[in-house]
């Protein structure tokens, strides 16, 4: 039986060590002329301009991940009122009053744990378990999402799982979920954390990329 969830980005689910999880976010800004769509639960990176952008785009290369986007708020130039959305559609899809910043809310705790779905078969649970403590990538799915619900379509690339230290995600567990327990199909929920985090003293600057065809 196919799994009910296949790709939904990186959903925050808790902190390392079962620390108290306030589900808190930090406010950053998105450039009002940024044409990139940045989806909820998608990885974002800081840029030299003092704003955030989607991972794997021009902000990548030597910049570690900042966290995942949870939502945005901007002042609508036509309606003359603030608008809250769960994702940034890109500047072409909104009417922004540039007298006000586009505010972005990011889950940016370096100890954050996330749930992410696998993008292909893992064969069985025994095989899936061998991947715990390995690393992986999201590939080009890191930048893809749904304009219908605003959610990221990022999924863990099963073919990328390896011990390679430069991969951006560390697999730390498997979520027991009866509705998503078909290990022969895509959609098995793994628990991961970001290997290289901008807010961590131990962050490595090697997990992002400027290539639009490679992803993270």
> Domains of the chain: which residue ranges?
22-107, 110-194
pLDDT at residue number 5:
81
- The whole-angstrom separation of Cα 169 and Cα 133 is 10
Query: Which stretch of 51-60, 67-76, 124-133 has the lowest confidence by average pLDDT?
Result: 51-60
* 209-215: average pLDDT: 45
**Nearest CA to 175 among 110, 109, 117, 130?**
117
- The whole-angstrom separation of Cα 146 and Cα 78 is 25
pLDDT at residue number 24:
84
Q: pLDDT tier at 58 (50, 70, 90 boundaries)?
A: very low
Model confidence at 68: pLDDT above 90? yes
Model confidence at 69: pLDDT above 60? yes
The count of residues in the chain is: 216
pLDDT at residue number 119:
93
Q: pLDDT tier at 55 (50, 70, 90 boundaries)?
A: confident
- Show the CA angle centred on residue 46, arms to residues 82 and 140, nearest 5°: 95
pLDDT at residue number 62:
60
- The whole-angstrom separation of Cα 207 and Cα 43 is 12
* 127-131: average pLDDT: 98
pLDDT in tens, 174-196: 999 999 999 999 999 999 999 88
pLDDT in tens, 23-34: 789 999 999 999
Q: Strands 43-46 and 67-76, how do they pair?
A: antiparallel
CA 125 to chain centre: 25
Going through the chain in order, the beta strands assigned E by DSSP cover: 11-15, 26-30, 43-46, 52-54, 67-76, 81-85, 102-107, 112-117, 135-136, 169-174, 189-194
């Amino acid at each position: 039986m196919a799994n009910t969830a296949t790709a939904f980005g990186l959903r925050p689910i808790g902190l390392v060590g079962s620390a108290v999880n306030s589900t808190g976010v930090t406010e950053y800004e998105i450039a009002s002329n940024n044409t990139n769509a940045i989806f909820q639960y998608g990885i974002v990176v800081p840029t030299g301009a003092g704003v955030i952008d989607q991972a794997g785009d021009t902000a990548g290369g030597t910049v570690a991940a900042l966290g995942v986007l949870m939502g945005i708020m901007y002042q609508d130039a036509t309606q003359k009122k603030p608008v809250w959305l769960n994702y940034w559609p890109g500047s072409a899809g909104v009417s922004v009053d540039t007298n006000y910043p586009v505010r972005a809310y990011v889950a940016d705790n370096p100890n954050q744990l996330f749930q992410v779905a696998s993008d292909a078969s893992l064969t069985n649970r025994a095989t899936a378990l061998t991947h715990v403590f390995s690393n992986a990538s999201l590939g080009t799915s890191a930048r893809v999402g749904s304009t219908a619900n605003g959610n990221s379509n990022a999924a863990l690339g099963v073919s990328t799982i390896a011990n390679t230290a430069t991969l951006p995600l560390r697999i730390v567990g498997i979520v027991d979920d009866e509705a998503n327990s078909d290990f022969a199909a895509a959609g098995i929920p793994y628990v991961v954390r970001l290997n290289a985090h901008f807010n961590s003293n131990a962050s490595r600057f090697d997990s992002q990329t400027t290539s639009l065809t490679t992803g993270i």
